Structures are given as C-alpha cells and as structure tokens.
Amino acid sequence: PIDPEFTEHREVVDEHEGHDVWGPVEEPETLGIHGTHVAVDFDICIADGACLEDCPVDVFEWVDSPGHPESEIKADPTHEGQCIDCMLCVDVCPVDAIDVDAG
C-alpha cells in the first residue's frame, strides 16, 4: 500500500498538471506518487478504475504510463483541490494506492 507518511519519506521531484510528484522517479518503471492532498502511488496503481467511477467530484483523470510494469494508464489526481474528503476512493482501491489527507 501507499506510505501514509510519504511527505516525510520522499522529496518533491517534479510537478504535473498543477500537483506535486514525489520521487523517486525513473521512467518508465518508477513513477512515484502524484498529488499531496489526494495522493496516488503510480507504482502501485493497476488501473482498476474504481476511483474514477466512484469519486463524486471527478478528482481523477487517466494519464498514460507506457512501459510501467503494473499498468499502462494511471489515475491522476488532476483536480485534487476539488476533493471533499469522502474517502470513497481510499476504500474502493483494491491495491491501496490512494492516500487522502483529511486531517
């Protein structure tokens, strides 16, 4: 599962669509964590899609990740600023790739 303390254990190495990317990143196999309030560990995401389907405010969008060992698309928290902290995405992700800091 995603490390809930990732902001303490990782560094911001990039920015993507207005959100931070927490490294390490070594494309295409290692993509890091996208987002901070709504964080998706791209190296864990298997493109299940439940988060996109269930988020009531459409925080997520698909992005391509060709060559990644787990999946060739990822759920990107493009609109993390819209999150209402319902925690549905955290509950439905089958591989626990998502952390929402509702604190």
**Chain length of the chain:** 103
Q: In the bound complex, what is the minimum distance in angstroms from residue 61's beta carbon to ligand F3S?
A: 11
- Tell whether residue 53 is a contact of ligand SF4 (CB under 6 A): no
- DSSP classification of residue 54: H
CB of 15 to Zn ion, least distance (A): 9
- Per-residue b/e over 57-90, b at no fewer than 16 CB within 10 Å? eebbeebebeebebeeebbbbbbbeebeeeebbb
Nearer to ligand F3S, 12 or 50 (CB): 50
**Encoded amino acid at 45, one letter:** C
Q: Return the one option of Zn ion, ligand F3S, ligand SF4, none that residue 47 interacts with (CB less than 5 to 8 A, by type).
A: ligand F3S
What is the binding site for ligand SF4 (CB under 6 A)? 38, 54-57, 59, 83-89, 100
